[in-house]
C-alpha cells in the first residue's frame, strides 16, 4: 500500500515554489481557482491512488475542523 510521502523530495525547493506562484501570474482570482482545480485533478490522476489522496486531504484539512 502506497503511503503519502511528506519528507522533502525536491532537488530545488525554491524553483518548485516559484513555478507554482508564477503559474498564477496575471490571473484573476476565478482563473486561479480554475487553474488550481485542474492542477489537483491532473496530479490526483498522476498519483492514481485514492488512499494517498485521502491521506493528503486529511493532512490538508488539519486545523480546519
Partner 1 sequence: MHATFSYPKYSFTPSDEQRTGSVRRHPVVIVGAGPVGLTAALDFARKGVPVVVLDAEDTVSVGSRAVCYAKRALEVWDRLGVGQRMIDKGVVWKIGKVFNGDRMVYQFDLLPEPDHKIPAFINLQQYYLEDFLVAQARRSDLIDLRWLSRVISARQEADHVVLQVETPDGVHAVEAGWVIACDGAKSSVRKMLGLEFQGEVFKDRFLIADVVMKADFPAERWFWFDPPFHRKQSALLHMQPDNVWRLDFQLGWDADPEEEKKPERVIPRVQAMLGADTPFELEWVSVYTFQCRRLEQFRHGRILFAGDSAHQVSPFGARGANSGVPDADNLVWKLALVLDGKAPESLLDSYSDERVAAAKENILNSTRSTDFITPKSEMSRVFRDAVLELAVDQPFARALVNSGRLSTPTTYTDSPLNTPDGDSFAGKMVPGAPATDAPVERDGQSGWLMEALDGRFTVLYAAGDGRVPAEVAEALDGPAAGPLPLAWHAVTDRRRGIAGELVDSAGRLRERYDLTPGSVYLIRPDQHIAARWRRFDAAALSAALDRAVGHAAGC
Q: Which is nearer to partner 1, 35 or 59 (CB)?
A: 35
- CA separation, residue 2 to residues 8, 10, 28, 47 (Å): 17, 19, 36, 10
Write out the residues near partner 1 by the rule CB under 8 A: 33-34, 37-38, 40-42, 45
Q: Which is nearer to partner 1, 12 or 45 (CB)?
A: 45
Q: Which of 23, 25, 55, 59 is nearest to 38 (CA)?
A: 23
CB of 21 to partner 1, least distance (A): 20
Q: Which is nearer to partner 1, 4 or 47 (CB)?
A: 47
Amino acid at each position: 500500500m502506497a503511503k503519502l510521502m511528506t519528507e522533502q523530495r525536491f532537488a530545488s525547493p525554491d524553483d518548485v515554489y516559484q513555478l507554482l506562484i508564477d503559474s498564477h501570474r496575471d490571473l484573476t482570482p476565478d482563473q486561479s481557482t480554475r487553474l488550481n482545480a485542474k492542477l489537483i485533478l491532473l496530479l490526483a490522476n498522476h498519483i492514481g491512488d485514492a488512499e494517498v489522496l485521502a491521506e493528503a486531504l486529511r493532512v490538508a484539512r488539519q486545523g480546519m475542523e
